[in-house]
Structure 1
Amino acid sequence: MDYRDILVHIDASKAMPQRIEAALHVAKRFNARLTGLFSVFQPALAPISMIAQPPGYGFADDALRSEYQDAEESMFRKALARVGIDGDWDFSTLAPNLAMPRAARLADLVIAGQRDPQDPESFIAEQFIENLVLSGGRPVLLLPYAGRFTEIGNTICVAWDGSREASRALHDALPFIVRARKTIIFSINASGETDAPRFGTDRIAAAVARRGANVAIEEVDGVHDISTGDLLLSRAADFGADLIVMGCYGHARLRELFLGGVTRTLLKSMTVPVLMSH
């Protein structure tokens, strides 16, 4: 398996140029086609989301939105030509929480950005990333709003607990894993019971190694004074990881999305790119 079609979410946030550069590097690495989809906050189409509209938001005017769209399209097409990558540009008049998941289902990998609380233009829709991961049906490579990430997946930390979500994320990340210099399967026994089952850590590591990957195992017992999400971020930094792979825990009920604690922590505090699958 490989990523042949990659979709990158395009908006007008300050982090957009860095996101495009990261997407270009990922597409080049996998010889993939890269499509940019412009989708931004649309108060006229989703009035209920105005409740969460941040102060100073600048897309209330359709003409201004069109101006941003033209500028982003020009930048994206020039970037494709500069790197020599096959790709295309698209936009949608649908609300982002409809447009992005629908487009995601046609891709092998989706690239999106973490919301920057200091940048009003990075607000796309209420629970935008959560909705994309939980309903898009494809792995989402989420980039932090701060920093440049042109090298992704050289050292990978996989959060493993044997769950369906963890297995899905690991297998969705295999194109990265088989190319990585090192992959650490990281297992946390949050109960502190050292005799508790390890959810097949050894067996999944062996299965990944059979694909030619360089795999190591890291197991931690007795987590009491730090949240699992914070521990995962801390250990990933210790490993020198430039990519975290994890299952996204949660479900949709009525109009609200419920996420697990680790997922919420990573969405808020991520410091390196995170590949999430549900």
Structure 2
Amino acid sequence: MGYKTILAVMDTAENARKLGEFTASLANTFSSHVIGLHMESFATVPLVAPMEMPDPATVQAVQEVAHEETMDVGLIFKQKITGENISSEWRSFVSSVGYSSNTAIQSARCADIVIARQTSSSALSDSRADLDNFLYEIGRPILLVPHVLEQPKPIKRVLVAWNGSREATRATFDALPFLLAADSVEIFSVGADDDDTQSGSLAGSEIASTLARHGINVTVTSQEKSHGVSAEKAIENRLSDNSIDLLVMGAYGHSRWWEMLFGGVTRTLLDKMTALTLLSR
């Protein structure tokens, strides 16, 4: 069991250089085929008086810069992936909506997993909104690489942020190849409530039993809600205290637009990533 088709989001030359190492490592681990994806966006050009028409020379210059970056990114991808004799292909498209385009989304939907770098922390960033929409629409697990990680390392310790939701369930099973290879997996829940089936203190015990039947070394930890400590803060502390290599969590427990406008666990953790993070919804 593994990720046999990986789609790597190569949005900029800088990200392509960094992401290439992680993509190659992942592909070598699972003997995967890698698809490199780059979307060259039409540039927005200010209108000029008196007829309020774009200046053709400006349009051409801006588009040439974008195309030059496309060529650079493609070369970086091919040098890294082909250089390690990894089965691969390069896909580059021009679109006015970037990774929100149907072409990009359909490419991702046919991959086992998508890998990308952490985006800008600016809530109004075009790239952030673009990746948000991409994640929301593709229906595939996405592995995000934080800026603080410079080189890939073995994934030995995994933390599963568990709240019993559909999204968390999907993420847990999407992460099975990583969980099977890890030395230890911790199911971590925050502020779980008592219900008719189990007590809050036992939250995550059933999913842990399921994972244990796969031969995974799994433990269960729960933390009560305390004043001033949010769920995302509790997860951050757990990541720091236990030197976690991979965080597994569901994305967007609320409406995506609510999270984009007002924040939430997904948004907060993506802004403060310290470990590889696998997200599903």
The amino acid across from 1:184 in the alignment is E
Match of 2:54 in 1: none
Match of 1:105 in 2: 109
Q: CA deviation at 1:271?
A: 1.2
- The number of aligned residues is 260
Match of 1:214 in 2: 217
Q: Structure 1: give runs of 5+ residues left out of the alignment.
A: 48-58
1:147 aligns with 2:135: no
Q: 1:268 aligns with which of 259, 264, 271?
A: 271
Q: 1:149 to 1:207 in 2, by over 3 A?
A: farther
Q: Deviations over 1:180-237 (max 9, x none)?
A: 11111111116799x8535751111111011111111111113322221121011012
Q: Deviations over 1:243-265 (max 9, x none)?
A: 10000024356x99568611011
What does 1:140-179 align with in structure 2 at a 5 Å threshold?
A: 140-151=142-153, 153-179=155-181
Q: 1:146 to 1:197 in 2, by over 3 A?
A: closer
Looking at structure 2, the residues matched to 17 and 273 of structure 1 have their Cα atoms a distance apart, in angstroms, of 17
1:2 aligns with 2:2: yes
Superposition RMSD on alpha carbons, in Å? 2.9
The amino acid across from 2:12 in the alignment is A
Looking at structure 1, the residues matched to 169 and 151 of structure 2 have their Cα atoms a distance apart, in angstroms, of 25
Q: Structure 2: give runs of 5+ residues left out of the alignment.
A: 48-59
The amino acid across from 1:131 in the alignment is N
The amino acid across from 1:175 in the alignment is P
Q: 1:209 to 1:85 in 2, by over 3 A?
A: same
Q: CA deviation at 1:167?
A: 0.3
The amino acid across from 2:87 in the alignment is D
Aligned to 1:115, the other structure's residue is in SS state: coil
Looking at structure 1, the residues matched to 135 and 22 of structure 2 have their Cα atoms a distance apart, in angstroms, of 19
What does 1:3-42 align with in structure 2 at a 5 Å threshold?
A: 3-12=3-12, 14-42=14-42
Match of 1:234 in 2: 237
Looking at structure 2, the residues matched to 40 and 243 of structure 1 have their Cα atoms a distance apart, in angstroms, of 31
The amino acid across from 2:231 in the alignment is T
Q: Deviations over 1:109-166 (max 9, x none)?
A: 0011112359xxxx65451222122111000101112322412522110000111111
Q: 1:139 to 1:179 in 2, by over 3 A?
A: same
Q: CA deviation at 1:274?
A: 0.7
Please identify, of 262-271 and 184-193, the stretch whose mean Cα deviation from structure 2 is larger.
184-193
Matched-pair contact (CA < 8 Å) for 1:15–1:146: no
Q: 1:243 aligns with which of 243, 246, 254?
A: 246
Aligned identity (percent) is: 31
Match of 1:137 in 2: 139
Looking at structure 2, the residues matched to 168 and 175 of structure 1 have their Cα atoms a distance apart, in angstroms, of 13
Please identify, of 101-110 and 259-268, the stretch whose mean Cα deviation from structure 2 is larger.
259-268
Looking at structure 2, the residues matched to 256 and 202 of structure 1 have their Cα atoms a distance apart, in angstroms, of 29
Looking at structure 1, the residues matched to 127 and 42 of structure 2 have their Cα atoms a distance apart, in angstroms, of 8
Matched-pair contact (CA < 8 Å) for 1:141–1:273: yes
Q: Which has the larger radius of gyration?
A: 2
Q: CA deviation at 1:102?
A: 2.3
TM-score normalised by length of structure 1: 0.84
Looking at structure 2, the residues matched to 154 and 23 of structure 1 have their Cα atoms a distance apart, in angstroms, of 18
Aligned to 1:14, the other structure's residue is in SS state: helix
Q: Name the structure with the higher helix share.
A: 2
Looking at structure 1, the residues matched to 261 and 121 of structure 2 have their Cα atoms a distance apart, in angstroms, of 21
